[in-house]
Amino acid sequence: MTNVYNNILELIGNTPMLRLNSVVKDIPAQVFAKLESCNPGHSTKDRIALHIIENAEKQGILKSDSVIVETTSGNTGFSVAMVSIVKGYKCILAVSDKTKPEKIAYLKALGAQVYICPANVPADDPRSYYEVAKRIAAETPNSVYINQYFNELNINAHYKTTGPEIWEQTEGKVTHLFACTGTGGTLSGSAKFLKEKNPDIKIIGVDALGSILKSYHETGEIHKEDIRPYQIEGMGKNLIPSALLFDKIDEFVRVNDEMSAYRTREIALKEAIMGGYTTGAVTQGFIQYANSHPFKESDLVVLIFPDHGSRYITKVYSDQWMAEQGFINNCVHNYDEVFKTEYVK
């Protein structure tokens, strides 16, 4: 039989790459999106969940009655829960209260026990989802803490899979790689592989306005004054993850909530790609970068689109949510008519 698999985990990886046309038509470069939403858990996090859990199994750390604990803004939680189901483990997740109800419902549907923690507290606050996950792992017998922010296997998963896929799919012609940075594993692992193949490939991290990663990369210091609330999930940080290899990144671009939201919806409207909020963020980062760094027609740019838009229907794809943020009223793309809904009476 052809294209028949034993379980859902065999579908992880080998995601397609798609040329972008309308959204980047004014930039003289070949621009492609790596569609990580085509993983069975609909995000790039499937790769690290499977890699870290299978590594723990090989080392004998995971037993039949083990409990897997993790910190997540949503996507890693979906992936960990999915892998846990297939492999027969219990799953406990600590999430921030920025996580929308539909994501929490999704996690619970996959059998995960969920703890909701305040987002706008310092990383070392006992209420933060980092500290809550640590406490749960310490108090739960036979638990294994994935700890994606400080787990080298996060990097290794993408070094072994995402990086080689990009190199093969572009036939080694990739000149620039852009990805949003949260834990940093996706960009770091991919960058590590690609830089070994060609040190001249430019690696650009996209950070959130309200995060410390860009300024830390530039100065080597944490600037607490950079920290402020923002809406984009799974991107930016108020701590420095060890899974983020700053020496593999050439430059950071910082994007805000509003322009990233517009760009997310523009991609859906013009490219027919329903991507998550970070899909818009990474595209906005690329466009901002292009404004100050001229591209050539021979340049081949890859943007990693990390997840699927179905998880943001009541957020960035919601007219009401956009209006509540003040985004639609300030819209520079003249989307008012597009957002308007006609009701038949």
Q: Does 45 qualify as catalytic in the annotation?
A: yes
**β-pairing verdict for 17-19 and 30-35:** antiparallel
Please list the alpha-helical segments (H only) found in the chain. 45-58, 75-87, 101-109, 129-139, 152-160, 162-169, 185-197, 213-219, 257-271, 277-292, 319-324, 336-339
Q: Which two tokens stand for residue 5?
A: 């698999």
Nearest-angstrom CA–CA distance, 110 and 66: 17
Q: Which residues are within 8 A (CB) of 92 and not within 5 positions of it... i.e. 6 or more apart?
A: 67, 68, 69, 70, 112, 113, 114, 115, 136, 140, 143
Which three-class secondary structure state does DSSP give residue 265? helix
User: Number of helices and strands (H, E) in the chain?
Assistant: 12, 10
Is 281 within 8 Å of 235 (Cβ atoms)? Answer: yes
Catalytic residue, chosen from 45, 98, 192, 202, is 45
Residue 154, classed as helix, strand or coil, is: helix
Q: Residue holding tokens 């003289």?
A: 28
Strand order in 202-208's β-sheet?
Answer: 17-19, 30-35, 300-305, 176-180, 202-208, 251-255
**Residues recognised as catalytic:** 45
